Amino acid sequence: MNSGTVIETQGLRKVFGTRVALEGLDLVVHRGEIFGLLGANGSGKTTTIRMLCGLLAPTSGQARVVGFDVTRDPEKVRHRIGYMSQRFGLYEDLTVVENLRFYSGVYGLRGTEAKLRIAELLEELDLGPRSRQLAATLSGGWKQRLALACATAHRPDLLFLDEPTAGVDPASRQRFWNLISAFAARGTAILLTTHYMDEAARCERLAFLLAGRLIADGTPDEITEHFGLPTLEQVFIDLQARAEAGTEAA
């Protein structure tokens, strides 16, 4: 793995009993890249992310994330990554700033370092005016910002976003994308899953999974050309239909 690579997998495979959840995944993600991992429900996206986060051991194959082997050094991996989903575990009975203090502590920030980082996040994500507000009373868009702040408190090299904008209004989705684009511009790699194809089109590269197999990867234009379809939305609809029909061929 070179200094510009944050994820590299070779033949990554995961089997649960007799079910193959992921088969032979070869994937490379670079520093500062926004990378989309797409596929219908049950295609292997969540299994892939759990293995890359060091939460689930591969059955076979190799994966290095932020320079560490996910099997031998899962704790080192977890200290260098951030994770956020639509169900990110905010503590709703805590205020915005109390949530930030908690997650800063989880990631090992203490004392002056934690105070400075929290102040930075409050300003960067425009959370300052709501710092004393209970998380339970925030709208979906503001909860999303707070979740992103908590996930990036330790300045991770790699950020996993699992359906982060599901159920959020279009204006909040746009603001969120402005934020993650800024993180990527500073060198943080972003790996995300989404069912919104307008968001997929913003990714620099995409990988499509079908029944646990990687069937296409490349830029959005390369993906549509590969499938001979005019839009990513039509590609996704086609793959959804094939997944429901149990078809794996590319």
pLDDT at 2: 54
In a domain, 187, yes or no: no
> Would 23 be classed as within a structural domain?
no
Strand bridging mode 34-38 / 60-65: unpaired
pLDDT digits (tens, 9 = 90+) for 78-134: 999 999 986 667 899 999 999 999 999 999 999 999 999 999 999 999 999 999 999
> Does position 249 have pLDDT exceeding 90, yes or no?
no
Q: How many domains does the chain have?
A: 1
How many residues are recorded in the chain? 250
The pLDDT of residue 250 is 42
Query: Residue 3 — pLDDT band, cuts 50, 70, 90?
Result: low
> Would 135 be classed as within a structural domain?
yes
Nearest residue to 250 (alpha-carbon basis) of 211, 219, 220, 199: 211
pLDDT in tens, 102-116: 999 999 999 999 999
Domain membership of residue 148 as a residue range: 86-155
**Model confidence over 30-79: pLDDT tens digits?**
999 999 999 988 899 999 999 999 999 999 999 999 999 999 999 999 99
Strand order in the sheet with 68-69: 19-30, 5-16, 60-65, 68-69
Pick the residue with more confidence: 2 or 177? 177
Domain contains 126: yes
